[in-house]
A and B are shown apart, each in its own frame.
Chain A
Amino acid sequence: MPITTTRRRLLAGSAAALALPAFARAQGAVKPRLTAISQWSAGSDGAAITALGKKFEEKGGVWQHSPVPGFTTEMMNKLRAQIMAGDPPACSQLKGPEIAAWSKIAPTVDLDAVVAAAGYEKVVAPDLAKLHKPGGKWIALPLQIYSTNMLFLSKRAMDKAKADKVPVTWADFNDLADKMKAGGVPYPVANGGTRPDDGQKFEAALAGISPLAYRAAIMNLEKKALEGPEIKAAFAQVRKIADWMDPNVGAQHFSTNLKRFIDGDMGMMIMGGWAQGVLRNAGFKFEDFMIAPGPSDNSKPVFLLNADAFIFWQRKEPDLQAGQTLMAQLVMDPAIQTMYSQITGSIPVRTDVDLSGEGWSDGQRRTAAALKDAIASNQAVLSLAHNMAQENGMTAAMIDVITEYVKNKTIKPEQAATRLAEAVEGAR
């Protein structure tokens, strides 16, 4: 392993040395231009990408971003149409294993030289890096990271339970939920009813019980792991969580119930880091809630990675090529990542960014620290519910089982585990 790494670095380094003057020339000769599509049009996402565009223009580039508002799938439909018409954008939003899948249908840009020149690889979580270099070459760059299993605690619900300790393991979590229920919190777990919501409950449970089993079963789809006891234990934990949730939420978005969560009507929420931004936007104060890494039975933080990224599509136009180089440099730049994450509430992809300064929240600092710890203990894994662990088809087949299990209390954990393994087989 160390040998291959060195050789790869050597290769990358020499490629960079050869390529750099060419980039410099290209940038000198033409005005860099970038055509980009993403779903980020409004709110903090829209503000962040607009700010990125401003930086691009400050560097002398022409920024041509066409947002496709709505779900990611709608952005993908536009991307699909453009690729089929032979006119892909120079750069588009895409994430997770979809990067590998889509890179097979149209040629992408080899970013190895630019990445090596920036020394980027050593500051990116290894699992994350792998997703962005499907054929061994960097073709996409991650932009920002969220953890999907942060634990949000309502201060008022904690007061009702007379508790002040943040739960570390699932046993602690279950204890606290019981205490909350006894203390008069009607629903110890706050939730929404969407598919990713249900998926997040399961992935948080499994990764918290055993990150190793999560990696084997969910990320590598190993048959033995899928039939293992950890999966059943995770489903059993999900049933407990589901019993503590308000059944009336139906298919609502998690944000619908944030007021009840803050009021202490609901106690704990397992949600991505973005909920912090939503809570803050809704006018709630940091004193109203606490943020901690999700429960982990070995007490070391488990980090379920969700990362937005840009993929770069091959174009012949010199100005677009120059624009792609400039964009890649910007996306890897710590200052740009800082700017971006401070707007959206995510954390930077680079693990070497200092979050102690102003502009960062405690939640972001805690998330970044959790990521660092999780990488060190090999407990940073890829989120299933947010399409990071598997391609969309496989993800959807697995979430089908999970969401049905959450909503149907007659299904036993053993049955759910069997169905999950069957769904994986069916979707292979």
Chain B
Amino acid sequence: MTNAAAIRPGRPALPEWVRRLPEYLMIWVPLLLSAAHLVSFSLWTIWISFTPSTLIPVSGWVGLRNYSAVAASRNWQIAFDNLLLFGSAFVLLSLVTGLALAILLDQRIRGENLLRSIFLYPLAVSFVVTGTVWSWLLNPGLGIQKLVHDLGWTSFKFDWLIDRDMAIWTIVIAAIWQSSGFAMALFLAGLRSVDTDIIKAAQIDGAGPIRIYRRIILPSLWPITITVVVIQLQFAISTFDLVRALTNGGPGIATQLPALVVYDLMFQRSLLGRGAAAAVLMLLILLAVLLPYAAWRYVQRRRAAHA
């Protein structure tokens, strides 16, 4: 385009900013709109969290009272502990599963496309569906335990769904099933992008496949690893539909998660102020993950620029 316009005689070239106007419009309008949405609603929520709002938003100032009420509630404490456990277990295990699947798929096997689709497919399923299906599979009276019993092994026990200490792990299982395919896809892309010359050089030097993976391929994957961790963590923090369909916070309130608490406070208990405070606390947890990531990206970029 640029060249064509430049060589055509007798017609003055359009100024740079006019020519690039469509690009600016394309990027900046949606960007500004979504930023405005995000920022304005976040600010609104923060404001509400300091008001005595219950059924509807009202003005007024109660200081940190909503925050202390939320932090002191058993529901929030359980939800926070669960988030620590669920978040770390889910991220770690989905990382390991995803990486293992990616390495296995990377062996130039037959039917790779089919297998890749199968592993990636759960990602296309809605979390509500995942939660519902797993709630059947994991129900001791209907699912896996019953199947094994019917096959003859009657002492077999797999009742985590109704065990309040283990129930949080059923959410980990379902979440891993859903999203380790996503980790796999990213890792696979990473594995494929490793420079084959280096690998060949290592092979010539006599390194075995395990050594090549350990010393060359895996170290080059760590930027991807961090991306996967951050994406999965923010998913873990905002998990709502999965746990709602799978356990609905139960047995009792054993599998509460922060997002459930926010919804419960705002819409079931009609305590908008407290719900907003819980939402802001969630935002803070999220920032605790995202800010170090942003800082790390910044340092990375600086280093790359200097190199």
Task: Please give the residue numbers on chain A whose beta carbons come within 8 Å of chain B beta carbons, in ascending order.
Answer: 73, 76-77, 80, 83-84, 101-102, 104-105, 193-194, 246-252, 391-393, 396-397, 400, 403-408, 423, 426
Contact = CB atoms under 8 A, between A and B. Distances in A.
A423 B159 CA distance: 30
Contacts of B271: 393
A83 B141 contact: no
A83 B162 contact: no
A179 to B, nearest CB: 24
Interface size band for B? 20 to 34
B267 A73 contact: yes
B161 to A, nearest CB: 5
A83 B55 CA distance: 11
Contacts of B250: 193, 250-251, 403, 407
A406 B252 contact: yes
Contacts of A250: 135, 139, 161-162, 247, 250-251
A249 B253 contact: no
B74 A400 contact: yes
Contacts of B75: 400
- A-B pairs, 8 with minimum CB distance: A248-B141, A407-B252, A404-B252, A407-B251, A393-B269, A251-B250, A396-B269, A248-B140
Contacts of A404: 252-254
B159 A248 contact: yes
B264 A396 contact: yes
B107 interface: no
Interface in B237-283: 247-248, 250-254, 264, 267-271
Given A391-B270, A407-B164, 15 more contacts: A101-B55, A101-B270, A246-B141, A248-B140, A248-B162, A250-B161, A392-B269, A393-B54, A393-B270, A393-B271, A396-B264, A400-B75, A400-B253, A408-B164, A408-B252
A208 B159 CA distance: 33
Contacts of B141: 246, 248-249
Contact of B56 (A73, A80, A407): A80
B72 interface: yes
Contacts of B161: 250
Contacts of A423: 74
Contacts of A400: 74-75, 253
A393 B54 CA distance: 9
Contacts of A405: 252
16 contacts: A80-B55, A105-B55, A194-B248, A248-B140, A248-B142, A248-B159, A250-B135, A250-B247, A250-B250, A391-B270, A392-B270, A396-B269, A400-B74, A407-B250, A407-B252, A426-B72
Interface in B16-47: none
B23 to A, nearest CB: 38
Nearest to A410: B164
A366 B151 CA distance: 47
A84 B57 CA distance: 9
Contacts of B164: 407-408
B72 A247 contact: no
B69 interface: yes
A306 B206 CA distance: 79
A102 B248 CA distance: 27
A391 B271 CA distance: 11
A145 B252 CA distance: 28
B282 to A, nearest CB: 19
A101 B73 CA distance: 23
Nearest to B69: A426
Contacts of A252: 139
A247 B157 CA distance: 13
A404 B159 CA distance: 18
Contacts of A391: 270
Interface string B120-153: 0000000000000001000111100000000000
Interface string B48-59: 000000111100
Contacts of A102: 55
Contacts of A247: 159, 162
Contacts of B72: 426
Contacts of B247: 250-251
Nearest to A400: B253
A100 to B, nearest CB: 11
Contacts of B55: 80, 101-102, 104-105
A251 B56 contact: no
Contacts of B69: 426
A209 B57 CA distance: 41
A396 B73 contact: no
Contacts of B264: 396
Between B57, B135, B268, the greatest number of chain A beta carbons within 10 A of the residue's beta carbon is seen for B268
A243 to B, nearest CB: 14
Contacts of B135: 250-251
A367 B5 CA distance: 87
Contacts of B142: 248
A321 to B, nearest CB: 24
A396 B252 CA distance: 12
A260 to B, nearest CB: 10
Contacts of A248: 139-142, 159, 162
A406 B164 CA distance: 11
A247 B141 CA distance: 9
Interface string B153-194: 000000101101000000000000000000000000000000
Contacts of A246: 141
A104 B55 CA distance: 10
Given A250-B135, A396-B264, A426 B73 contact: yes
A382 B252 CA distance: 23
Interface in B60-87: 69, 72-75
Nearest to B58: A105
A252 B69 CA distance: 31
Contacts of A84: 56-57
Contacts of B268: 73, 392, 396
Nearest to B78: A404
Nearest to B142: A248
A229 B183 CA distance: 56
A397 B270 CA distance: 12
B252 A77 contact: no
B140 to A, nearest CB: 5
Nearest to A79: B55
Nearest to A405: B252
